[in-house]
Structure 1
């Protein structure tokens, strides 16, 4: 039976100003400049004072409080003359829901390494195909095969699927054997291994292009053809018995195989343009005293336009207001409100960043003095949130997207947070300290007899770290270190 009833609830909703601040807080320095440009273009009531001094050099990390970048006297006079508080309850408010661009589009600030113009992987294959004397039909088949390759150079579509593609898209009717023959032609192109349908075929194509009379190459072909699974699992003892080889012979074969390229299409093009990291903070060590500064790009010189304030006052004092004039007053008022809120959000962002980073620096003071990961204290988001009197989510937004430059590298703030582990003496240490010890143990092990997780657990217990074997395995996997069997070398 359906019933209607009234119910009162207390709900907590974020105001537009709070939403705007949250969005600005998680924006890294690299994207903040773009975000400010978007706001300047969208809101004519907002002005950037730094545009008037574009030719003057600006220090990226000035040795002063970033709040000093603002002209306090000017801004306070402007806001005293114009009071927008009475309009804060109006419904017509900017939502600030625009997406942030992760790349800096400022032509003056952007500095890219010049890259030589070169043909792409697929263009090189097409050029090689043009040099082969082929019929029109075979050429179309070859182009279809090249177009079906993955970025790593593999052909992962079945031959029957290629035949269907040719018939439907190119109106070319081919047999499976014809596609197979053209695939062999493509597999003869450079880079060696291109057009393979799996890893085994890729390695065999490359080996067969080498000296076919070399005993090492012949043995390597046999290993890849018949014992690739044992090779990838590093069952070297088994391979020595099956192939009747000693350790030195097998080592030559293994070295020949590991020199092959498992991804012939991976030319590195995707990594030529990497996201530039601009640190949000800088920590300097001045004779044992740490000095924290905020990147000056986080403190833009923004102000509310004086002309827009005068325009609003002129319109608002008009004795007679028709519909168009009221719309003009509403438009100007909205832009002035938006400009003030944006400036306040930028200032609040500055203060929150400095407050959070200062708490992290003081909590990890010994680490920032030395750079030794073993000096990192256990620290979780709640530790910093309690120190600065803010919510954990606020600290998380800062830690997940901000970088700090130190004398020993540039790091994401998130990397300084870690769980606590209790030693036999009852002292709590960071799990990063345990990971560092694990890394040193594995780095100094005998690669012919790598340390198993059980042995690593025993070593840690001898050092006072009472950790289970599964925890050691979890830390090893987090550091992308394979199991002992896969670390074995001849």
Structure 2
């Protein structure tokens, strides 16, 4: 049965502009340049002054109050014929959004892009070694197929039977499993050592067998990897000493030799390219006990509205007859100008939000930024900063999750300054960062032959005045990527 009814609902919805600003706010400095380039490509009414040569004298670009023309997502836009051309004829000077922070920002040396060394990839290196071998066309095709089937870490995880099927169907090469096995052994002789292995055990054995076979330590290391790898990974050194009839000194030499091996040979040439480049969004300097906060100048791009698009409005205003095509063209221009002005204002609003949030964090953790001592970190949650700056918790979260600050003591993720409060026996509230620091210190100086278990660490903290449960100690240890006591054991 169909029926109609009338309902009234109160809903909160984000406008498209608000959604775009939220995305823009959480973009870190290292990705902001890419986001701006995308906007410049999509919107011809937006220009980057750093990429264009301005022929007009500077007096044609008067300075403007930086607090003017802030974006308001609730502004109503009337019909096309009701817009004010003067709104688009005011030039946005460089000082509006560019040089406002330049005096406190990075110098010219810091603005230069970091050069990236040109080097061959892991797979290109293997292919180059294959090209140097005197192989038949069939063996070359098999070797090329094996290299292409390796994972990024250098392991071959596809069965030999699957490789022969791939050769038959994709390259029309009929090969036996034994032929593929033989070529795999050839690939396993390539650098880096261990490449082409089908398991961790095979990877370690390949590397050990390429060392001096007459060395007794190498012989025993091969024996351990072949027969006692499980005991080795679990650090059951007592069992290994009994099974191999070795003393602790001999076993220590064998263990150290195995630990030198690379369990992921494919990652060796890719380390430098996979590392994330961290560009700090903020800089904090200590000037005789007074902290000075500056924003990275890359967050203040020199953007302006295109003059040629502004002149189109002048032409439209002077036109006596406005036909349909001209109106459609001007409507398109108006849309692009609106988008350009919004993006410029959004960038400015982003700068203000970043500075406001970081300044509140700096004031809250003033003692830490003066000394760099983790013990001076106060308990701080997102709500503490949100209340100080009068913004939503989600806004603070978006700023803290992806932004970095450079200090005299290193570069830190803003998120790392937020921590829970722990109450001591005296009733004082301290940050859990302080507890983690104490745990790290005690684990660092423990006897590695008899590492401290979580229960012992709990007792140590209680003696220091921190009443914490064992499960909390285990949680903090895991957050610091510290393994359990058994896996920290060393000879």
Pairing 1:21–2:18 present? no
Q: 1:254 — aligned with what?
A: 255
SS at match of 1:257: helix
What is the CA-CA distance between 1:70 and the residue it aligns to? 8.8
SS at match of 1:272: helix
**Distance in 2 (alpha carbons) for counterparts of 1:132 and 1:341:** 61
SS at match of 2:266: coil
What is the CA-CA distance between 1:167 and the residue it aligns to? 1.6
Of 171-180 and 423-432, the range deviating more from structure 2: 171-180
**Distance in 2 (alpha carbons) for counterparts of 1:23 and 1:287:** 38
SS at match of 1:255: helix
Matches within 5 A, 1:473-484: 473-484=474-485
**Distance in 1 (alpha carbons) for counterparts of 2:263 and 2:66:** 64
**Distance in 1 (alpha carbons) for counterparts of 2:314 and 2:284:** 46
**Distance in 1 (alpha carbons) for counterparts of 2:223 and 2:379:** 52
Q: Is the CA contact (8 Å cut-off) linking 1:88 and 1:337 kept in structure 2?
A: no
What is the CA-CA distance between 1:73 and the residue it aligns to? 5.9
TM-score relative to the length of structure 1: 0.84
CA RMSD in angstroms, aligned pairs only: 2.8
Of 12-21 and 232-241, the range deviating more from structure 2: 12-21
Pairing 1:352–2:342 present? no
**Distance in 1 (alpha carbons) for counterparts of 2:264 and 2:195:** 8
Residue 122 to residue 20, structure 1, CA distance change in 2 (3 Å): closer
The superposition leaves residues 192-228 of structure 1 with CA deviations (integer Å, 9 ceiling, x where unpaired) of: 2222110111111222222323322222111111110
Q: 2:39 — aligned with what?
A: 39
Matches within 5 A, 1:30-429: 30-49=30-49, 71-72=63-64, 87=77, 111-117=113-119, 119-272=120-273, 274-305=275-306, 308-316=309-317, 318-429=319-430
Of 227-236 and 255-264, the range deviating more from structure 2: 255-264
SS at match of 1:72: coil
The superposition leaves residues 221-257 of structure 1 with CA deviations (integer Å, 9 ceiling, x where unpaired) of: 1111111000011110111111111111111111221
Q: Is the CA contact (8 Å cut-off) linking 1:28 and 1:280 kept in structure 2?
A: yes
Q: Is the CA contact (8 Å cut-off) linking 1:70 and 1:301 kept in structure 2?
A: no
**Distance in 1 (alpha carbons) for counterparts of 2:66 and 2:448:** 68
Residue 340 to residue 172, structure 1, CA distance change in 2 (3 Å): closer
Q: Is the CA contact (8 Å cut-off) linking 2:122 and 2:269 kept in structure 1?
A: no
Residue 189 to residue 320, structure 1, CA distance change in 2 (3 Å): closer
Of 329-338 and 40-49, the range deviating more from structure 2: 40-49
Residue 201 to residue 48, structure 1, CA distance change in 2 (3 Å): closer
Of 474-483 and 274-283, the range deviating more from structure 2: 274-283
**Distance in 2 (alpha carbons) for counterparts of 1:464 and 1:218:** 51
Residue 322 to residue 275, structure 1, CA distance change in 2 (3 Å): same
**Aligned residue pair count:** 452
Of 324-333 and 365-374, the range deviating more from structure 2: 324-333
The superposition leaves residues 350-384 of structure 1 with CA deviations (integer Å, 9 ceiling, x where unpaired) of: 22111111111111111111111111111111111
SS at match of 1:405: strand
